[in-house]
Chains A and B, each alone.
Chain A
Amino acid sequence: MNAIRALALIVALLGGSVARAGNPDPDQLLRQAFDNWRGKTSHTTVEMTVHRPDWERTMSMDSWTRGEDDALVRFTAPAKDAGNATLKLGDDMWIFNPRLNQIIKLPASMMAQSWMGSDFSYNDLAKADDVLTEYTHRITSTSQADGHAAYEIEALPKPDAATVWGKQLVTVRDDGVLLSETYFDQDMKPLKQMTTERVDDLGGRPYPVVMTMSKTGDDDRWTRIEFQSGRFDIDLPGALFTRSNLRNPRDFGTGAGH
């Protein structure tokens, strides 16, 4: 009896340590990273800086997300950009411009245009979670960063994926913080990357509060996003994510309904 119990214990211990010492599931990790980033719902305030060789601009915006599909972004500063808003519902996007005072549905031909002059296109915003759903993942390396384990995940597009990239390399921390995302062409040459420059607490969770998107090898053109405040998994009224709200912002008491 003793022998069997001892054996079981050893097996359990061994099994446990194997589980601990082995790599986590990359799909799990990525899902965790996205959940951490957006939550089921979120409301964040963000400062975006676009840098070019001859100029630099900083804008402030309020951003709400619901699940993976719906998002509303409204610009609050500077005055020239204030009031501009973008609404995403599933695959469709609308833009609101206060000077025109009307909303316009974004046709397919505009999807590749840059969003507010940044290094993100409308398409990037719409397809942000593609890397989760359209790729297969495996962990290629592990490292240590600031007392956390960081996993480099190689994401290869599934055969039918509607994506142009050859692969993506995503680095995720063990607590779900996204550290970097690098995009490669189909010859496996790196083209652009999003890098987390600072991790901090935001809305009660560890968060990549400063992220920069830039083209590989070009230091003079980049876009930086800084999260200034954030609340996650809050109650957001359904009416927030509607076209009429896009056109006529109502205060839902969510702290910044305008």
Chain B
Amino acid sequence: MLTGLAWRNLWRQPRRTLLNTLSIGFAAMVMVFLLALQLGTYASVKENVLKAFDGYAQIQPPGYRDDPALHRTIEDPGMVMDAAKRVAGVTDAAPRASSFAIVSRGDASFGAAVTGVDPALEQRVSALHNTIARGRYLEPGDGAAAVIGSALARNLGVDLGGRLTLLGEARDGTVAADVLTVVGVFDTGTRELDRQVVEMPLTRFQDTFAMGKAVNVVVLGGKSLARLTDALPRVRERLPDPDLRVVDWKTLRPGVSQAITLDVSVSMLWYASLLVVVVFIVLNTLLMSVLERTREFGVLLAVGMRASLIGRMVWMELLLLALLGLTAGVLAGTGLALAIGHYGLVLPGAEAVFAQWGVPGRLFPRLDAVSAFAGPLAMLAGILAAGVIPYRRIRQLEPVSAMRAA
């Protein structure tokens, strides 16, 4: 009954109610959309940073993370990849082997991280092939081919079709030596990659470095970083060799994780202040309306309604108002997020950042339970908590003095 009364009270002042609903709704919409956009941007950045080289997650032999030596191997990559792909959430697995070696041409020689990859599978877990500036990426069937970074190519004075000498240490300690032809030059914009990375076909690497069929790591890919990361515990269970380690993105790239945490904490400050402003505005109008209705409350008190009940009624009005506004806001926010999610949002700076990774600079809001409801729920809590103030004012009313108020 109280609810019904409260509801009708709200609509006695339709304009005021609508304006308040608008305030709450707008703030809620903003919270939902911006949070979704923020989370979507983080996800994008994470995914792109990882796809540039490390991959969303890796299966590694024990000890490899601290000491990435060639002799730490996964002996049967096929079995490991099959087991991983059977887990829902893991869509791709690619084998890799790598070692530090000397790459030279003529008199020039430089140390480089030489990585053997499967040309077809690798493109599904890494985006390096998107940054090819000249020539092409590796293809299945390639033999003595290599793609190298642009700075390394400059340093060696080599271009497409040029030949490189590779010299390193094979797994069994013998000399690993090979001659490769440059088929592609990539330019990621990150100097470390452009100066020091060489990729070659995995089978050739295994041959040159006496690996047999073994590899050093298996890189995993999924539809999204979040989905793959969620699937990792199940991957761990399914692995044929319990000694193998499953390494998630936070371990692969701790810097990104901490940068995002810092960014989140600062933006929480902003969301909190948004909350405060909204609550402040709503409280304001609520207080004003309570003051206006003092006479009305006086009458109600005189006919026997208890002050606490009146207070609860007003609180109920607040709750209904909040629910109305928040529902509208959540709907509008999710609608906006979905609509923009379709086309992407272009923000200055996004282009530059994403160009590094060879993807268009569009930001996509990512809707999930958190972005859709966290902000509105916090707002609801804030508004309801603030409702204590008018509640207490009402409880102090006396019927006669109230009826006489202006």
Direct contact of A and B (CB under 8 A): yes
A217 within 8 A of B: no
* Contact between A100 and B173, CB atoms less than 8 A apart: no
Minimum CB–CB distance from A113 to chain B (whole Å) comes to 6
* Contact between A104 and B109, CB atoms less than 8 A apart: yes
Chain B residue nearest in CB terms to A117: B173
* Contact between A118 and B175, CB atoms less than 8 A apart: no
* Contact between B173 and A110, CB atoms less than 8 A apart: no
For window 54-107 of A, CB contacts with B under 8 Å fall at: 55, 57, 80-81, 84, 95, 97, 99-100, 102, 104-107
A114 within 8 A of B: yes
* Contact between B172 and A100, CB atoms less than 8 A apart: no
Chain A residues with Cβ below 8 Å from B367 are: none
Residues 107-151 of B, flagged 1 when their CB comes within 8 A of A and 0 if not, give 101110000000000000000000000000000000000000000
A30 within 8 A of B: no
Chain B residues with Cβ below 8 Å from A125 are: none
- The CA of A126 and the CA of B293, in the complex, are separated in Å by 95
A116 within 8 A of B: yes
B350 within 8 A of A: no
When A57-B173, A113-B169, A116-B173 are in contact, do A100 and B179 touch as well, CB less than 8 Å?
A: yes
Chain A residue nearest in CB terms to B111: A109
A178 within 8 A of B: no
When A100-B179, A110-B111 are in contact, do A55 and B169 touch as well, CB less than 8 Å?
A: no
Minimum CB–CB distance from A222 to chain B (whole Å) comes to 13
Chain A residue nearest in CB terms to B173: A117
Chain A residues with Cβ below 8 Å from B169 are: 113-114, 117
Question: CB < 8 Å: which of A50, A55, A100 contacts B165?
Answer: A100
Minimum CB–CB distance from B207 to chain A (whole Å) comes to 12
Chain A residues with Cβ below 8 Å from B178 are: 99-100
Minimum CB–CB distance from A105 to chain B (whole Å) comes to 6
Chain A residues with Cβ below 8 Å from B102 are: 104, 106-107, 110
- The CA of A113 and the CA of B70, in the complex, are separated in Å by 12
Residues 19-34 of B, flagged 1 when their CB comes within 8 A of A and 0 if not, give 0000000000000000
Chain B residue nearest in CB terms to A113: B169
* Contact between A81 and B109, CB atoms less than 8 A apart: no
Minimum CB–CB distance from A93 to chain B (whole Å) comes to 12
* Contact between A81 and B111, CB atoms less than 8 A apart: no
Chain A residue nearest in CB terms to B170: A117
When A97-B167, A100-B165 are in contact, do A118 and B177 touch as well, CB less than 8 Å?
A: no
Q: Helix, strand, loop or mixed for chain A's interface?
A: loop
Question: CB < 8 Å: which of B104, B109, B172 contacts A117?
Answer: B172
* Contact between A116 and B174, CB atoms less than 8 A apart: yes
For window 169-215 of B, CB contacts with A under 8 Å fall at: 169-170, 172-175, 177-179
Chain A residue nearest in CB terms to B107: A105
Chain B residues with Cβ below 8 Å from A55 are: 172
- The CA of A80 and the CA of B169, in the complex, are separated in Å by 14
Chain A residues with Cβ below 8 Å from B110 are: 107
Minimum CB–CB distance from B393 to chain A (whole Å) comes to 74
Chain A residues with Cβ below 8 Å from B109 are: 104-105, 107
Question: CB < 8 Å: which of A57, A81, A102, A105 contacts B175?
Answer: A81
Question: CB < 8 Å: which of A80, A99, A104, A114 contacts B104?
Answer: A104
When A102-B165, A105-B109 are in contact, do A97 and B175 touch as well, CB less than 8 Å?
A: yes
Chain A residues with Cβ below 8 Å from B177 are: 97, 99-100
Minimum CB–CB distance from A190 to chain B (whole Å) comes to 22
* Contact between A95 and B167, CB atoms less than 8 A apart: yes
* Contact between B165 and A104, CB atoms less than 8 A apart: yes
Minimum CB–CB distance from A126 to chain B (whole Å) comes to 16
- The CA of A114 and the CA of B110, in the complex, are separated in Å by 18
* Contact between A116 and B175, CB atoms less than 8 A apart: yes
- The CA of A110 and the CA of B169, in the complex, are separated in Å by 10
Chain B residues with Cβ below 8 Å from A102 are: 165
Chain B residues with Cβ below 8 Å from A113 are: 168-169
When A107-B110, A107-B111 are in contact, do A114 and B173 touch as well, CB less than 8 Å?
A: yes
Chain B residues with Cβ below 8 Å from A118 are: 173
Question: CB < 8 Å: which of A50, A80, A81, A104 contacts B167?
Answer: A104
Residues 30-71 of A, flagged 1 when their CB comes within 8 A of B and 0 if not, give 000000000000000000001000010100000000000000
Minimum CB–CB distance from A117 to chain B (whole Å) comes to 1
Please name 11 further chain A to chain B contacts, defined as beta carbons within 8 Å, in addition to the given A50-B173, A97-B177, A109-B100, sorted by A numbering.
A80-B174, A95-B167, A97-B175, A99-B178, A100-B179, A104-B104, A104-B109, A107-B110, A109-B111, A117-B173, A118-B173
Q: Which residues of B contact A (CB under 8 A)?
A: 100, 102, 104, 107, 109-111, 165, 167-170, 172-175, 177-179
| 18 A-B residue pairs with CB within 8 Å | A55-B172, A80-B174, A81-B174, A81-B175, A95-B167, A97-B175, A99-B177, A99-B178, A100-B165, A100-B167, A102-B165, A104-B109, A104-B165, A107-B102, A109-B100, A114-B173, A116-B173, A117-B169
A-B residue pairs, 10 tightest by C-beta: A117-B173, A109-B111, A97-B177, A100-B177, A99-B177, A104-B167, A100-B165, A104-B104, A84-B175, A113-B169
